[in-house]
Each structure stands twice: as structure tokens, then as C-alpha cells.
Amino acid sequence: MPVITNIEDLRVLAEKRVPRMFYDYADSGSWTEGTYRANEADFQKIKLRQRVAVNMENRTTATKMVGLDVKMPVAIAPVGLTGMQSADGEIKAARAAEKFGIPFILSTMSICSMEDVAAATTAPFMYQLYMMRDREAMSNMIERARKAKCSALVLTLDLQVIGQRHKDLKNGLTAPPSPTIANIINLMTKPRWCLGMAGTRRHTFGNLVGHVKGVSNMKSLSSWTNEQFDPRLSWEDVAWVKAQWGGKLILKGIQDVEDAKLAAQSGADAIVVSNHGGRQLDGAQSSIEALPAIVAAVGDQIEVWMDGGIRSGQDVLKAWALGARGVLIGRAMVYGLGAMGEEGVTKALQIIHKELDVTMAFCGHTNIQNVNTNILLPGTFPKA
């Protein structure tokens, strides 16, 4: 086993161990992948101010996210097909998050169902959903989330239609993999993955199979989204979800200040500044570039989170300094899961936490609550 010291080490190992179509599903963007790359690259443009001769003892990164106590301002993002990165992957990731003390968000497009995750964990998790044409199915899904004791709903707003993801199209992405010659050859090089999958019954979309009527092909993500995701999504629909749910509601996929203002007026508890990891509108602004203006516009009215490009604890600290009261990590979690299962997710969280903690100390702080743009070098970070 190689020595793992950063998220990139986990990525390299995951690429070796996960079948090509599922690795590419997580580690890719739409069209030219320009926004996907910018999410990560724009963090690197932001420079930190190092301080010396300050007391670095008794540090804490603890805070709250929508009222929940968390060890650091990080939650695991909802990632579709997580259970295809590693057998029962959503359960493994949820367990790792629970033990570490951060929130886990389960995707609608998960392999393990919300009931599976609820049975395998004790801490409440959050559930992400899309607006579907079938309102009865949505109502049932919201009720299932309530019975699973989910702590919040995360409504994704930026996937009314699916972006063109070239790698998924070329790979013929399905869950489980179609038995094509190319897939069989690739799977033969992934014995660890195949052995794990042979030991579980969970091989397709657990939240949907047996729960949603009138879907012609449950194997295909694109077919299902084309049939069921509602392109007519409006703020009235957001109000409908809020009324159906009655609990904490987080709106994910905000990139524009005007949309942020409407989100704040909707009565939601938090928003996530996000471009869907660069997997929807290619050419869109990176999340960290979009963040400051949105914080300036609505940060005093609603809790602002962000996702996209978080690959280290330094990225978490930079996002916090620019006003994000929480960040979501998707790919960093997926890399850990694909590389080493639950242990790998835990390793990813440990790496990010240590980098966050040490970087905060180098910047002259012992409590994350006191961190603001003063830790950033003027002229290197985006302004509102």
C-alpha cells in the first residue's frame, strides 16, 4: 500500500481500482471541462498571509452547519452512483462521516437507498432530491426521508436538464455496467472492485427502483433524468417542497446574485454556491469566484455554503475566509472511497482536517470563527 499524504494520492489509487466508466463519471466535467478545471485552479490563485510569533495552542475548527455541530465546516456532497465506486459506497461514506463528526448528504441517484443508510448509521443524514415530473413520487420520497429521520433536504436546482458529459456518453454509463466486451475487459483489471460487488445485492438506483412508476430504463442515468427531471422547475415548486417537508431546506446550485436573493426570500435555511462540479454549464464561473458577491448580497439573510474544487483543507479555509459557512466535498470523498473504501473516506477527511487546522495556525488563528479575509493576500482573491 502506498503512503497516502494528500487527496491526489487517493485519486491516483482510485483511478487504478475503480472501473473506467465510474471513475470517469466522478472525475470529469461537461463539454470542454473548462469550468470543472477552473473550480480547482481558481483556489490556487488565492494566496495566504503567514503570521509568526502567535500562540498556536488549543486550536479548534468546530462550528455549526444549519444548527448542527460539526468538527469542521465540511459536509460530504451528494454524489450519484457512489455505490459504484465501492460496494455499498453510500453506507461506507455515511459511516465515515458520522464517526468523524460531519454531515453526510445522500443523493437521489444513490445505489444504496435512504432506508439502507438509515439502518446502517445512527446519526441523522441529509437527503438530496431533484424536482420530478411525478409529484406523487416526490411526495413519497419526501415522506420516506422523514421516516429515515433525515435532518435536512437538499434540493438541487441546476439539473433540470442534464449537461453533455462526453466521457459518460462514450463510456455508455449504466449501473450496473452493461456486459459489453469493453466493459468486461476493463472489469477484469479490477478484481478488488468485482469481489466487493459480488458481496452486495445493491447494484442499481436504490432510491428509485420500486418507488417510482413509469420509468422505462432504470439502468440509465441519462434516460431517467430525461424522463423525470422537471424542466419547468420554478420558485413555486421550491415553496411546494418546503411545505411538503416542513423541516430544514437547503438549495443547491446557486451561481447568480439575483437567484441568491430569490433563494433567501424563499425561506430556505441555506444555499450552496455550486456549478454542479463543472458537470452542467461549461463556461460558467467557478464556485469560489462566484462566492464573494453572493455572500455580500445575502450572507446576512441566509447561511451560504459552497462546493466545487475543494481538494484540501487550505481550500476549505479560503472558502470560509470568503464567507462560506460550510463546504461540500464530492470528488475528494469519491477518491477515498474508490481507493480504500470506508477507510479511504476517513483518510480523506483526516487529510482535509489536518491541512485546515495547520494552515489556520500558520495564518495566526486558533479558532476558525475568527478567520476572515485578513488571512488572504490582497489582490489575490475575488471581491464582491
**Is 274 known as a binding-site position?**
yes
Distance, in Å, from the CA atom of 221 to the CA atom of 173, rounded to the nearest integer, reads 8
Is 255 annotated to bind a ligand? Reply is no
**128 annotated binding-site participant:** yes
368 annotated as ligand-binding: no
The SS3 call for residue 192 is: helix
- Stated as kind and residue range, the H or E segment containing 304 is strand 303-307
Q: Please tell me whether 107 is known to bind a ligand.
A: yes
- The answer to whether 135 is a known ligand-binding residue is no
Task: Say if residue 23 carries a ligand binding annotation.
Answer: no
Residues with Cβ within 8 Å of 363's Cβ and at least 6 positions away in sequence, in order, are 48, 49, 50, 51, 317, 371, 375
310 known ligand binder = yes
Q: Is 36 annotated as a binding residue?
A: no
**Which letter, b or e, does each residue of 374-383 get, where b requires 16 or more Cβ atoms within 10 Å of its Cβ?**
ebbeeeebbe
Q: How far apart are CA 275 and CA 22, in angstroms?
A: 20
Cis ω before 176 (30° cut-off from 0) = yes
Reported as half-sphere exposure (CB side, CA atoms, 13 A), residue 343 has a value of 5
* Torsion angle defined by CA atoms of residues 28, 208, 93 and 125, in that order, rounded to the nearest 10 degrees: 120
365 assigned ligand-binding residue: no
Q: Is 309 annotated as a binding residue?
A: yes
For residue 197, give the C-alpha cell.
460487488
Is 335 flagged in the annotation as binding? no
Taking the CA atoms of the chain, what radius of gyration do you get in angstroms?
A: 20
Annotated binding residue at 176? no
Do the annotations mark residue 78 as ligand-binding?
yes
Question: How far, CA to CA in Å, does 138 sit from each of 208, 260, 276?
Answer: 11, 24, 21
- Ligand-binding annotation for 276, yes or no, is yes
From residue 216, give the alpha-carbon distance in Å to each of 113, 132, 149: 20, 15, 30
- Is 267 annotated in some ligand binding site? no
Residue 340 CA from chain centroid, whole number:
19
Which of the residues are catalytic? 276
Contact 88, 202 (CB under 8 A): yes
Q: Which residues are annotated as a binding site?
A: 25, 78-80, 107, 128, 130, 156, 165, 252, 274, 276, 279, 307-311, 330-331
Q: Which residues are annotated as a binding site for FMN?
A: 78-80, 107, 128, 130, 156, 252, 274, 307-311, 330-331
Q: Which residues are annotated as a binding site for glyoxylate?
A: 25, 165, 276, 279
